[in-house]
A = this chain, B = another copy of it.
């Protein structure tokens, strides 16, 4: 195999928190070359910070016009996603884009059409699909170990609320946080969500009401195959990032638990104590982030299909919109009533 002869040359657009997560994982791949980083905050100190990167730019068109670059990772704020996706697709680049694919429906559909027309590969950054334990639930389902799926339960709680600033631009809890759970609901069940019913409240921090948002929610799901689902969300679990999924069916149940910080157990007269779950997504999903890039590059190299498509990105947004509408109206919302594409 001449795998190493032809390194896959890529560009990174946006080197903020998540961009740097990807950068670190790229360093573990000897068959991929990150040639160019584009970020409007670039200054000369970055040359030392990213010693194996040849080019830096503040203009993403420079990345897109580089004929050696085959694929780009788009890690900029959400509102910039659709335009950049469109431009990258027109430049013939394969695209990995962080979630959500956008805020504005018209722009998203526009970008989607361009990607489809240009026939470039496109993967959206739902990293949890690449978590080892969650993938094992899907394995169980595919192997018939669940039988007929009947109940899906997703627990998804952050260790601490984001800043008010972040909340202001996040699109709300359903678009920012639950969107991952909506994608998981589809991925784990292998089914489409038909309708959504939401109970929500502000139980952690009243100030969040200023941003027209909530911090605690329970979301009921009905699926096209008749099965039922429920997601519970909280912005603050003081014991760490709580990320559990359970798929129950006629042949058995598969549960993915949290990953503890270590395998230590300590017992004294005060009880038997274990470590809490890994604190947040950078810890818990570090290998999932690595795996999602490997999967993207595998698709770029034609080894397999894209696992997590533009359509997946859009469907999760539709579910977030349905959830918002359900919360606002207090009624069940049929997903087909959210404008379709």
Contact = CB atoms under 8 A, between A and B. Distances in A.
A227 to B, nearest CB: 7
What is the total number of copies of this protein in its complex? 4
A265 B248 CA distance: 12
Contact of A253 (B27, B150, B239): B239
| A contact residues, range | 35 or more
Contact of A267 (B48, B239, B331): B239
Given A27-B30, A264-B256, A250 B204 contact: yes
Contact of A256 (B251, B254, B261, B262): B262
Contacts of A261: 132
Prevailing SS type, chain A contact patch = mixed
Interface in A232-256: 232, 234, 236-240, 242, 248, 250-256
A276 interface: yes
A49 B4 contact: yes
A5 B44 CA distance: 13
A264 B273 contact: no
Interface string A122-145: 000000000011001100100001
A240 B236 CA distance: 33
Contact of A254 (B28, B252, B266): B266
A267 B253 contact: yes
A51 B7 contact: yes
Contact of A230 (B230, B266, B276): B230
B239 A150 contact: no
A335 interface: no
Interface in A41-71: 48-52
Given A201-B222, A254-B266, 7 more contacts: A133-B264, A150-B204, A151-B216, A218-B220, A237-B248, A256-B263, A331-B331
